[in-house]
C-alpha cells in the first residue's frame, strides 16, 4: 500500500499544472471550448481524473489558466520591449504597437481566446489576465509621459480597442468559414461589400463610398492604423517634453 501511494504521488508530481494547461491549450486550439473535457484531457495526458483535479479544480479554472498562459506569452517581459527592471527598452509607441500585435496574433492563433478574454475580463477582473494586459500596455503609457491621473483611462482605452478589434477579426474569420468549406476571407468581404453597394444612396452615402475599401483592406494594417490613431490622440493631449 505504501509503495502504491508513493508511485501515485510521483505521478501527481510529474503531472504538473503547466503540463495540464499546455495540453488544455492544445485541445482548445484543435476543438474549441466544447472539445476541452476532463475525459479527453485525461486520455491525452495518460492519467486519471484525480491527478488532474489535484492541480485544477474545474473547467472554469482550467479555461482561466489556459487564457492566462497564452496572454503571458504574448505580453512577456522582454518580448514586448520591457527590460528585466520593468522599464521600456524601445520607444513607447513601438512598445504599444508590439503588445497590440502580439495580442492580435494570439487571438488569430487561438480562435477560442477572444471569447475567453471577454469572459475573464468581465467575470474575473481580479484574476491574472487583466493585470497582465494592463501592465504590458501601461508601462509604455507611463513612458509616453501621460500624467499619472490619466494612466488608467489611457491604458484602458488602448486595451479595449486592442481586444475589441482583435475579437472582431476572429468573429469575421468565423463568419467567413460559415459560408462553406471553399469560402475564404475574400469571399466574405466580397459579400459584405456587394451588400453595402446595394444600400440606398440617400440613407447610406458613406457606407456605399467605403464598400470597395472594405473589400480590399488588410486586417493587420487596419488594426495598426487604429492603434496609431489612439497614439496620435494620446501624444496630442500629453506632449512629451525634451
What is the per-residue pLDDT across 176-232, written as a single tens digit (0 to 9) for each?
A: 777 666 767 788 888 899 999 999 999 999 999 999 999 999 999 999 999 999 999
CATH code at position 191: 1.10.357.10
Q: Cell numbers at residue 29, please? A: 486550439
**Cα(210)–Cα(192) distance, rounded to whole angstroms?**
11
220 within some domain: yes
Q: How many domains does the chain have?
A: 1
Supply the angle between the helices 129-143 and 151-178 in degrees, to the nearest 10.
120
Parent domain of 220: 83-237
Does residue 19 have a pLDDT over 60? yes
94 within some domain: yes
Torsion of CA 104, 106, 157, 210, to 10 degrees: 20
Which residues are CB-neighbours of 238 under 8 A, at least 6 positions away?
144, 145, 146, 147, 150
Each residue's pLDDT tens digit, 32-88: 999 999 999 999 999 888 899 999 999 999 999 999 999 999 998 655 555 555 566
Nearest C-alpha neighbor of 207 from the set 217, 216, 199, 215: 199
Residue ranges in the chain assigned as alpha helix (H): 2-14, 17-31, 38-45, 49-53, 59-74, 92-109, 113-123, 129-143, 151-178, 185-197, 205-209, 211-216, 219-237
pTM metric for this prediction: 0.84
Q: Please list the residues that pair with 82 across neighbouring strands.
A: 88
**Cα(11)–Cα(123) distance, rounded to whole angstroms?**
33
Amino acid at each position: 500500500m505504501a509503495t502504491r501511494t508513493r508511485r501515485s504521488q510521483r505521478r501527481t508530481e510529474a503531472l504538473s499544472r503547466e503540463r495540464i494547461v499546455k495540453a488544455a491549450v492544445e485541445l482548445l486550439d484543435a476543438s474549441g471550448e466544447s472539445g476541452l473535457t476532463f475525459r479527453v484531457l485525461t486520455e491525452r495526458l495518460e492519467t486519471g481524473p484525480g491527478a488532474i483535479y489535484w492541480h485544477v479544480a474545474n473547467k472554469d479554472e482550467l479555461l482561466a489558466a489556459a487564457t492566462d498562459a497564452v496572454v503571458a506569452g504574448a505580453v512577456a517581459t522582454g518580448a514586448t520591449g520591457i527590460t528585466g527592471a520593468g522599464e521600456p527598452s524601445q520607444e513607447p509607441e513601438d512598445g504599444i504597437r508590439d503588445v497590440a500585435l502580439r495580442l492580435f496574433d494570439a487571438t488569430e492563433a487561438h480562435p477560442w481566446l477572444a471569447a475567453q478574454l471577454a469572459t475573464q475580463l468581465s467575470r474575473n477582473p481580479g484574476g491574472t489576465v487583466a493585470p497582465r494586459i494592463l501592465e504590458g500596455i501601461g508601462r509604455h503609457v507611463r513612458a509616453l509621459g501621460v500624467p499619472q491621473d490619466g494612466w488608467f483611462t489611457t491604458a484602458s482605452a488602448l486595451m479595449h480597442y486592442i481586444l475589441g478589434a482583435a475579437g472582431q477579426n476572429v468573429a469575421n474569420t468565423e463568419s467567413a468559414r460559415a459560408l462553406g468549406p471553399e469560402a475564404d476571407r475574400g469571399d466574405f468581404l466580397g459579400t459584405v461589400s456587394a451588400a453595402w453597394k446595394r444600400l440606398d444612396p440617400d440613407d447610406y452615402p458613406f457606407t456605399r463610398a467605403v464598400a470597395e475599401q472594405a473589400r480590399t483592406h488588410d486586417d493587420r494594417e487596419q488594426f495598426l492604423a487604429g492603434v496609431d490613431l489612439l497614439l496620435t490622440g494620446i501624444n496630442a493631449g500629453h506632449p512629451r517634453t525634451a
